[in-house]
Amino acid sequence: MNRNILPEKNGITVIISVICTQHAAKAVIKTPTSVIYLQDIPANLANFAAKPTRKRKDMTLNDFLAYVKTGKPLNTEEIFLFMNEMSNEARKITFKLNTSYYTPDEVREMLAELFGQPVNPTLRVFPPFYTDFGKNIHIGQNVFINACCHFQDHGGVTIGDGCQIGHNVVFATLNHGTAPEDRIYTYPAPITLGKNVWIGSNATILQGVTIGDNAIVAAGAVVTKDVPANVIVGGVPARFIKSI
C-alpha cells in the first residue's frame, strides 16, 4: 500500500491510499468521517503512483546554450519548460519595447536586458522588434536593424560588423522534424552573418545558414543554403545572381 497524507484543510486531514494487487488496484480516500473507494485502476498505473516522484532538475541558460550547439532535438520536459519561461520573459520586454516611443539609448538598454548582455553603443534598432528567446543573439558594431524583424534565436544568431537588416526580415534557427511522428519537435542550428552583409526587406534566413562578408540578399529571398562572400543572391529558394 502506498499512503499519502495531504496537508490539513478546513480542519480535515485527508489520507489517500493506493491498495495494489497483482492485476489491479483501488484508490482509497479516508477522512475522519468517511471512507471512499474509487474505481479500479490498472496495476501498472498504481505501481507508478506508488513510486516516489523524481525531482525535476531545472535547466539553466548555460545548459540550454550548450545543448543547442549539439543540434539535437529540443524534446525533453526540462527543455519545454525552460523555453516557455524564456519566451514569457522575452515577450514582457518586447511588448514594452514595441508599444511606446523610446530614445535610441533607451532601446539599447532594453535590448541589453533582452539579450542578457551589453549591446554595442553603435547598434541602431527601429522597433517593433520581435523574439521569443533573445539570449542567443550576438551583434557586432555599426549594425542597423529596421522595423518588424523577427529573431527566432534559440540556435544562435550572429550578426557581424556593419550589417544592414531590412524591414520584416526573419531569422529562423529552428526547424521541425519532417517525419509526422517527429513533427512536434524542433532542431536548432545557428545563423551567422559576416561583415557588411545587407539583407533586403522580407527576406527569410533559415537555420544553419552562413552568409559571407559583403554579400547581399535580395528582398523577399528565402535563404536555405550558405551564401559566399561578395555575391548577390535572390529568389525562393535564394540562388546566385552575380558577384560584386
Cite the active site residues: 176
Amino acid in the structure at residue 175 = N
- How far is residue 244's CA from residue 202's CA, in Å, rounded to a whole number? 22
Report the amino acid identity of residue 144. Answer: F
- Give every CB contact of residue 39 below 8 A, 6+ residues apart in sequence: 26
